[in-house]
Structure 1
């Protein structure tokens, strides 16, 4: 696990350094679709991550956002989001991250999330807890439910399916009755990081994208967030009061 963690942190940091340099020079080359943005920086970041991972573990499988699935010969598989928050990146909004999760026999065992603009790195190891820059963290907030900030995350499939979109809109409407603010950042991996350190009171996901969800959910688990999941609806909270209210969504 130490080797896996060291490699994943290195991969995310190399990618993060590249993204910061591109962001600072306002490199906005991208293909803009009706519901998504694909930036040149996505592909550049992914190449750098995969170079590190495949050099260290050539027999591991990989699923990456841009290049898709690459079969391996072992029971280990990396799930990679090279630039979470592409819309933000291309709009000059300083809120984007990099994530890598390692699965063993399809169970996430390692999560690394890197916030390159703040040089913050979150790590979670199955059964071993969560850290921020090497220091233990816990999803614990004393903010009461009426002042809570709740991150709401939907996957790209929700935008492309009328039935899912209607359900997603209904969930968002229901969420508006809780807390102080519903936060839609378009960079969920950083939302998971804020939850894990007690800076957000909850994260609610509907049909989240796999490239970010594996890393985020394991980080929430290992930081002792209160968790509930039914199908493609996920709720994680940083205190009992907020969690009890959000359980009514199920």
Structure 2
């Protein structure tokens, strides 16, 4: 199965690469920045057709085509093109992702960055590999010397995480961080030790299948926001080199019990543009 996964993920990624800079958005899903291109669909077709031909009894959950035999013993979780918005805007930061799960446990994970020809693969208990060379997370142990990734969704939880990071830097606990809009690429960089931590919120199952599994196999500590071991289907992800993890959690954790007084205080400060405050007020109780 290992070679099969590597082969089809590269085929899917290369199909995307062939279309890079040549096509635009095909349609939008939930909003104008949640888009689908012909490359998404082409890569998805390559993966799904290959899996169904080789493993007809396996289930498939794909961002592009939904669920098929999701209760099967083995289920493939696919994001044929992670970073579609980057792709559509001709920004070369995107990748194809696939994971194979049995029940709640991921057994294999693969991410392919076709622009830079970087294939990361992991198998349970066997570590993580980049182009067949074993990789490991960084050994950085001082937060002020670290570099990582965060999300930039305009959702209350995400904005508050980023505010915590800004507050930490304001207190001279400096860390360099950015959002690449592709957890596939961010995972490759953290798993290979080029960056030190990754914080992500509000993704789909396909976003949080291969990445946390690969990061764990690369030696990262991987948890949810409460510091509990990460599990499949959770929507909050914190991964970092082990010596930084407690500090990472300390910076981003927040009280999850929100009184009206706390909500009012949050809305009064200047972290949000005025026109967004009303929207946030409506969502706070359901999304925080």
Per the TM superposition, whether the score is higher than 0.5 is yes
Higher relative contact order (CA 8 A, sep 6+): 1
Q: CA deviation at 1:73?
A: 7.5
- SS of 1:244's equivalent in the other structure is helix
Pick from 241, 249, 253 the counterpart of residue 238 of structure 1.
Answer: 241
**Which residue of structure 1 aligns with residue 54 of structure 2?**
56
User: 1:158-198: CA deviations, max 9, x gaps?
Assistant: 65xxxxx2222111110222543221111101101111110
Pick from 69, 79, 96 the counterpart of residue 71 of structure 1.
Answer: 69
Pick from 153, 157, 161 the counterpart of residue 167 of structure 1.
Answer: 157
Q: CA deviation at 1:234?
A: 1.9
Structure 1 Cα separation of the partners of residues 54 and 9 of structure 2: 14
Gap runs ≥5 in structure 2:
227-233, 254-288
**Which residue of structure 2 aligns with residue 23 of structure 1?**
20
Q: Is the contact between residue 143 and residue 201 of structure 1 (CA under 8 Å) also seen in structure 2?
A: no
Structure 1 Cα separation of the partners of residues 140 and 53 of structure 2: 44
**Which residue of structure 1 aligns with residue 280 of structure 2?**
none
Q: CA deviation at 1:106?
A: 2.6
Larger radius of gyration: 2
What is the number of equivalent residue pairs in this alignment?
237
User: TM-score, normalised to structure 1's length?
Assistant: 0.88
**Which residue of structure 1 aligns with residue 267 of structure 2?**
none
User: TM-score, normalised to structure 2's length?
Assistant: 0.77
Structure 1 pair 78–142 and aligned structure 2 pair: CA distance change class (3 A): same
Query: Equivalences for 1:60-139 in 2 at 5 Å?
Result: 60-71=58-69, 74-139=72-137
Runs of 4+ in 1 over 3 A off after TM superposition: 141-144
Structure 2 Cα separation of the partners of residues 203 and 138 of structure 1: 15
**Which residue of structure 1 aligns with residue 279 of structure 2?**
none
Pick from 196, 212, 215 the counterpart of residue 220 of structure 1.
Answer: 215
Greater strand share, structure number: 1
The alignment's C-alpha RMSD in Å is 1.8
Gap runs ≥5 in structure 1:
160-164
Structure 2 Cα separation of the partners of residues 73 and 174 of structure 1: 39
Structure 2 Cα separation of the partners of residues 35 and 149 of structure 1: 26
